[in-house]
């Protein structure tokens, strides 16, 4: 029987309680604590994925984005008003360590390309594609399927607007490679990214990452 | 000639290239990932002619994230 016991601090049944004060019966948080996840793109998808993984207890995140926080980003991205103008990597790190001071974060402040994606993939247990541009999404998947044997990869396509929730799906393309989204809803002037729906997709991605890390594929 | 794209049969002109197929589907070549006969193609391969009976799986990405 699974159980979770929450206590404030100290020892429980001889086990050292973590800072969070929760003891997990199946050692899930221990396993996640030892995991490394790379998040490519820290916008509406990536920033939400990173927050969810930090809260879930992933121990190390490699965060890649070249961009800075802009005021319009606040409509859907996990940044704050006083972070406008900061690099997204720096701003997101600051927010994540407020959630979990023990989280290890490495920042990659650069535009990714094929070579850099391959290099990043070798350093993580799961790679998450959260790019904004369709061309980069295609590049990421092409690299994952062609160059990265055995990779665990979660991409996304079709997350804009406020169309029906249940059109957002997680689709397995092949072993270890998944694609989240409705495949159709592209961002355009009449259909922007909105926090609720991009959040649905981001949490599909984050949960799929957790499932991959826990060997539940 | 006949090709199969995402499980559906399509009639294409003999000598049709991957690039022409992408264009006929109304897609941008930089935004697609194509597997032809179980091999992922690089964009440099898109001027290759398709053969009769080629089996393709094509994923078209849209922007937003």
Look at A134 and B35 and tell me if their CB atoms are within 8 Å. no
A24/chain B closest Cα distance in angstroms: 33
Instruction: Write out the H or E segment, with its range, that includes residue A44.
Output: none
Q: Which residues pair with A24 in a beta bridge?
A: A4
Whether the per-residue pLDDT at B64 is higher than 60: the answer is yes
Provide the pLDDT confidence category of residue A118 given band limits of 50, 70 and 90.
very high
pLDDT tens by residue, A152-210: 999 999 999 999 999 999 999 999 999 999 999 999 888 899 999 999 999 999 999 99
Strand pairing category for A104-108 and A22-24: unpaired
Q: Pick the closest to residue A197 from A207, A182, A211, A208 (CA basis).
A: A182
Whether the per-residue pLDDT at A64 is higher than 60: the answer is yes
Q: Is A148 within 8 Å of A116 (Cβ atoms)?
A: no
Write down the pLDDT at residue A25.
47
Whether the per-residue pLDDT at A126 is higher than 70: the answer is yes
| Residues of chain B neighbouring A193 (CB-CB closer than 8 A) | 64-65
Cα distances from A64 to residues A35, A105, A146, B55, in angstroms, run 17, 11, 21, 35
Residue pairs between chains A and B whose CB atoms are closer than 8 Å:
71
Write down the pLDDT at residue A209.
98
Whether the per-residue pLDDT at A12 is higher than 70: the answer is no
Provide the pLDDT confidence category of residue A149 given band limits of 50, 70 and 90.
confident
pLDDT tens by residue, B15-27: 999 999 999 999 9
Q: Closest to A193 (Cβ–Cβ): which among B33, B40, B64?
A: B64
Q: Closest to B65 (Cβ–Cβ): which among A41, A146, A184?
A: A41
Tokens standing for A113?
A: 């390309």
Residue A154 has phi, psi (to 5 degrees) of: -130, 110
**Helix boundaries (H) for chain A:** 28-33, 46-56, 88-99, 114-121, 134-147, 195-213
DSSP letter for A185, please.
-
Strand pairing category for A153-156 and A126-129: parallel
Say yes or no: A43 contacts chain B, CB-CB below 8 A.
yes
Residue with tokens 């079709």: A158
Whether the per-residue pLDDT at A130 is higher than 90: the answer is yes
Whether the per-residue pLDDT at B11 is higher than 60: the answer is yes
Whether the per-residue pLDDT at A19 is higher than 90: the answer is no
* Cα atoms in the 13 Å half-sphere on the side-chain side of A179: 19
Average confidence (pLDDT) over A123-147: 96
Provide the pLDDT confidence category of residue A5 given band limits of 50, 70 and 90.
low
Whether the per-residue pLDDT at A8 is higher than 80: the answer is no
Q: Helix and strand tally (H, E) in chain B?
A: 1, 5
Residue with tokens 């991205």: A77
């Amino acid at each position: 029987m699974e159980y979770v016991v929450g206590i404030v601090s100290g020892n429980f049944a001889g086990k050292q309680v973590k800072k969070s004060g929760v003891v997990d019966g199946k050692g899930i948080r221990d396993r996640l604590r030892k995991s490394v996840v790379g998040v490519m793109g820290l916008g509406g998808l990536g920033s939400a994925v990173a927050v969810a993984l930090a809260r879930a207890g992933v121990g190390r995140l490699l965060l890649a984005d070249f961009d800075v926080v802009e005021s319009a980003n606040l409509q859907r991205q996990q940044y704050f008003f006083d972070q406008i103008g900061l690099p997204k990597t720096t701003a997101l790190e600051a927010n994540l360590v407020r959630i979990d001071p023990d989280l290890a974060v490495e920042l990659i402040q650069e535009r990714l390309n094929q070579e850099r994606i391959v290099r990043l993939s070798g350093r993580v247990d799961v790679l998450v594609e959260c790019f904004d541009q369709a061309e980069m999404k295609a590049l990421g998947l092409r690299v994952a399927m062609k160059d990265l044997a055995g990779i665990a990869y979660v991409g996304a396509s079709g997350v804009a607007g406020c169309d029906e929730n249940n059109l957002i799906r997680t689709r397995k393309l092949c072993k270890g490679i998944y694609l989240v989204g409705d495949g159709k809803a592209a961002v355009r002037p009449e259909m922007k990214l909105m926090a609720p729906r991009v959040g649905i997709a981001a949490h599909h991605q984050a949960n799929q990452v957790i499932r991959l890390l826990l060997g539940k594929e | 000639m006949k090709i199969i794209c995402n499980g559906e049969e399509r009639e294409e002109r003999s000598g049709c290239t991957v690039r022409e197929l992408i264009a006929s589907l109304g897609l941008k070549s930089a935004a697609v990932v194509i597997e032809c006969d179980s091999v992922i193609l690089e964009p440099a391969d898109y001027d290759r002619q398709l053969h009769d009976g080629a089996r393709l799986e094509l994923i078209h990405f849209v922007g937003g994230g």
